Structure 1
Amino acid sequence: MLMIAAGVAPAVSVAETFRFSLVLLLFMLVARYVFPETKKSKPVLPPGPKGNPVLGNLLQLGKNPHLAMTELSKRFGSVYKLQFGSRTVVVVNGMQAIKQALLRQPMDFVTRPEMYSSRFVNGGKSVVFAPLPVDEHRRYRKLLVDALKDYAFKRVGSKPVVEKIVSEEVRDLSKRLTQRHANRDGDEMSGVFNEIACTTSNIISAFLFGKRYESGDSHAKFIVDNTNEFSRVCSSSSAVDMMPWIRFVVPGILNGFLRVTRKFDTFMQSQISDHVAKFDNHGDTSNVMDGLIAISRKNKGNPLYDETRTLNTVIDLMGAGFDTVSKSLSWLTVYASVFWDAQKKMQREIDDFVCREKRNPSYSDKRAFPFTDAFIHEVLRHASFVPFTPPHAVSREDVSLYGYDLPKGTIVFINQWSVNHDKVEWRSPEHFRPERFLDVDGNFRSEVGEKVLIFGMGKRVCPGKSLAKLEMFLFLVELLKECDLSTHPDHPGLPATEYGLTMRPEGGKIIIEPRC
């Protein structure tokens, strides 16, 4: 009896326990399915150097942040993070990582970050700098690109109208530059660059507004002086963007930046108003501004297209386009004067073409100038005068890049300098060697040219990229057809540069004489 009692009781207990455990397990599985776990695992952020509790890593970057950030990539990899004041910045380095971000994951990085200073550029609605919603940015960017295509590249005879404008303006520039030297007005680079900037403003004004200004005209001088001043004061806006509290600690820190941006907006609004008044009288569309007015009238009443916003896209074209093109033409002039042998090769290409074809070159003839094309690309690569694109931002939740989690809104720097000076992509990148873009037969290697990064890429690529390339080619061909460039004996070699959104050669002298 005891044996039976002792034997049966444990058997019943085990069975009940088993049934209870099975029911509990099923309940837990159902509960997990119906009420899934919402707690996310801790995000894996990119690595990066430690920084100051208040300033972050700002003091570690020195006077040349592009060089410092490129060096940091050797330590922390292609994707790493920095702390700029209270803002976290992810830096993307090298062609492969940048392609992954901007070409393979374009919608993850398509927006601009929220910056305090951007609200003062073009009324806070800049197509280039403002953190616009994706659809809104796409809509107004298309207006801008279409206007350029329809009016700057509109053909007059056998050439786009912009070719005629560039050729005429550079011929005028050549005369002014050689006259400066003949009159002993000085060979200072700053004077040469201001002349180039004046030419650039005329080129842009011609296809934007159908206007040109004489050298020394107050309008042209304003554009040049205001752009130079903007370069000097933009560092204050960067400080406020990264440390918003600093504007309360240092009252007036933005005064210079605000003064420059307001003066430029006032100037541009007067240009737009004058043009609208004239358009109402004649109704012709012969330039970009005319085209934008026509578009705004066509879409009047359409809630998707604000008339003021449509017209103000021309401010982005003038503001962003002028500075980048002016700096590129200045760098081409400097490199041509320093590298005399390369200059002579380009002049031989030009002379041979003119002798053979009995006409001046056009942009469609670019294939006949492989060394000139190689020279331009090598200047863009070696100078890398636009070291970073305008900042991107992480556009949506749950974005991952190279295995790292990036929170929405994180600022993203695209380091173009790191691409153009990558020792894996370019043998001896510190050396200036246009021949790296030519094959054994002397033909331009377009696949190598595509490795140079200066205009960004993907959905935020510079909308004026094609126009800038045309201007650079025609500028260099026209200038070298008419002039010999050389460095002053007191200032041989490449000049120093000062870091900025776009970097300009600083100091030095250059001699420009008419060709014999």
Structure 2
Amino acid sequence: MSLWYIIITLVVFAFILIAKNTKKTKKNLPPGPPRLPIIGNLHQLGSQPHRSMFKLSQKYGPLMSLKFGSVSTVVASTPETVMDVLKTFDIDCCSRPYMTYPARITYNLNDLVFSPYNKYWREVRKMTVVELYTAKRVQAFRHVREEEVSSFVDFIEQSASLESSVNFNQKLLKLSGSVICRVAFGINLKGSKLEKTYEQVIVEAFQVLGSFAAADYFPVIGKIIDRITGLHGKCEKVFEAIDSFFDQAIKHHLEDESIKDDIIDLLLKMERGEVGLGEYHLTRNHTKGILLNILTAGIDTSAQTVTWVMTHLIANPRVMKKVQAEVREVIQNKDHIIEDDIEQLEYLKLVIKEAFRITPLVPLLVPREASKDVKIAGYDIPKKTWIHVNIWAVHMNPSVWKDPEAFIPERFMDNEIDYRGVNFELLPFGSGRRMCPGMGMGLALVHLTLINLLYRFDWKLPEGMKAEDVDLEESYGLVCPKKVPLELIPVLTQWT
């Protein structure tokens, strides 16, 4: 009897210890929708994850738990929770999870966007801020932007004389591609290995980089699934095209010593040890990883910004009329339009802000990973949890923006909210340590292009189309382009 008493006592004591331990380790996770076995909440993402997540957040809250296969995820969807992630706890939430296909395309995470937060990332970030994207360097390549925009204007004038439409999605990619190739790579897009495929390569690169890949969520069978869906093959195709282009551009520099002061020149000096990068010695894969960010982000973001601005203007004739009146009053028969003219164009700046708000280029920021246990909005976020920041949800929040689906630039009048990462109601470029460092370079081209388009031409829709027929749907990727290409017919104005 005494033996049984001892056994029962020990068992009860063990249960008490287990219960206490369970109570201690139980996490207060954010609420979230029910999950299916194995796949979790992946079935709820749909073709536009930022929209699906926003809809779910309206039911489950501003900080929401989701499960994607084996990966635990939280989604921040309001200015308050986004500020916690990007500012208050930025140091603990700014690393990156390992993602299979971004790792492949970025030469094993040797870039700036997908690299985890570590010493290498900090050195590359410092180098890009100090060397690549300074105001001085942006100004140094001003003549390149002016020459390429002038060539673009010539093309539109020819289209106007023929009364033929301009495919903005296509032609603006070519414009920004031409600028980036000259600024960063010291070569012309025309005649390069990307000339005939750059549009497809850039678009597909962002599709791959923004994909919800099975390989990341199902460690055992994920890669097999991605081969079946074609994602693996698309990634390899994109990587080979970009890698071949980089080889061409680097070879061009090595063979022609007269090419100086562009971005490849600086990176090659780092490879040779002539310029330092902290304790790191750059290899060719480091160089290519850094160039990958410059090529893809530099080309696509500027092109898509101008496309979306023109889309919203043609869909809102009142705004188009008002912004063109301002541009023409300020410019007044100037033969040579310059980027600095944007400073006098107050309404155009409001139009650009509103376009960033209603159609942010990166509606779902690149996933982050908690580097340690952290508590946000009263909830526990365990170490290694993936964190998604839903910028689109913030920009569409009716508690933040009145009538959020309407394009109303005037909402920014007498409003100090800006898009430079300080105001968490408007974050098209992100915020904190991971904020886009190339914003100034990209906006310089956006401003110059838009001023020329609005000053020199009137615009009309193809025969039979009305403003209300303009499609505003986006395709999903890391950067979201307009799903149906924007086709507009230019009309020469009296100033040209």
Question: TM-score by structure 2 length?
Answer: 0.85
Kindly provide the amino acid, as one letter, of the partner of residue 34 in structure 2: K
The answer on whether the counterparts of 2:174 and 2:199 sit within 8 Å (CA) in structure 1 is yes
The farther-off stretch of 429-438 and 309-318 is 309-318
Is residue 155 of structure 2 the alignment partner of residue 176 of structure 1? yes
1:462 shift after superposition: 0.7
Cα deviation digits, residues 115-143 of structure 1 (max 9, x gap): 12232022112434434342211111222
The residue aligned with 1:10 is none
> Which residue in 2 is equivalent to 1:320?
297
Aligned to 1:484: 458
1-side partners of 2:393 and 2:303: how far apart?
Answer: 23
For each residue in 1:267-326, what CA deviation from the matched residue of structure 2 results, as whole angstroms up to 9, or x when unmatched? 213212322332xx34x6332222223344324797423243553312221122222222
Q: Tell me if the contact between 1:272 and 1:311 (Cα under 8 Å) persists in the aligned partners.
A: no
In the alignment, the residues of structure 2 paired with residue 436 and residue 101 of structure 1 have an alpha-carbon distance, to the nearest angstrom, of 27
Structure 2 residue aligned with 1:115: 99
Q: Does 1:162 align with 2:141?
A: yes
Q: Which one of the candidate residues 392, 395, 399 is aligned to 2:374?
A: 399
CA contact (8 A) 2:211 2:478 kept: no
Alpha carbons of structure 1 residues 302 and 376: separation in structure 2 relative to 1, 3 Å: closer
Contact 1:79/1:92, CA 8 A, preserved across alignment: yes
Q: Which one-letter code corresponds to 1:205 in the other structure?
A: C
Structure 2: runs of 5+ lacking an equivalent: 1-20
**Does residue 427 of structure 1 match 2:374?**
no
Residue 160 of structure 2 contacts residue 492 of structure 2 at CA under 8 Å; is this kept in 1?
no
- Kept in 1: contact 2:365–2:389 (CA 8 A): yes
Question: Unaligned 5+ residue runs, structure 1?
Answer: 1-36, 440-444
SS at match of 1:154: helix
Tell me the equivalent position of 1:447: 417
- Partner residue of 1:369 out of 316, 340, 345: 345
Q: Please give the per-residue CA displacement for 1:391-424, whole angstroms capped at 9, x wherever unaligned.
A: 111122x211111111222111110001111112
| C-alpha spacing 1:97/1:64, structure 2 compared with 1 (3 Å) | same
In structure 1, the residue matched to 2:17 is none
Distance in 2, Cα, partners of 1:425 & 1:232: 30
Deviates more, 1:231-240 or 1:487-496: 231-240
1:321-349 superposed Cα distances (whole Å, 9 cap, x missing partner): 22222211221222232223322322222
Residue number in structure 2 paired with 1:76: 60
Name the TM-score, length of structure 1 as normaliser.
Answer: 0.82
Q: Which moved more, 1:136-145 or 1:492-501?
A: 492-501
Query: Which runs of structure 2 are paired with 1:245-394 in the superposition (5 Å)?
Result: 245-248=221-224, 251=227, 253=230, 254-278=232-256, 281-282=257-258, 285-296=260-271, 297-299=273-275, 303-308=279-284, 311-312=287-288, 313-355=290-332, 360-394=336-370
The alignment of Structure 1 onto Structure 2 pairs a total of residues equal to: 461
Match of 2:432 among 443, 447, 458: 458
Deviation at 1:465, TM superposition (A): 1.4
Retained in 2: the 8 A contact 1:177–1:195?
Answer: no
1:512 aligns with 2:490: yes
Matching residue's letter, 2:30: P
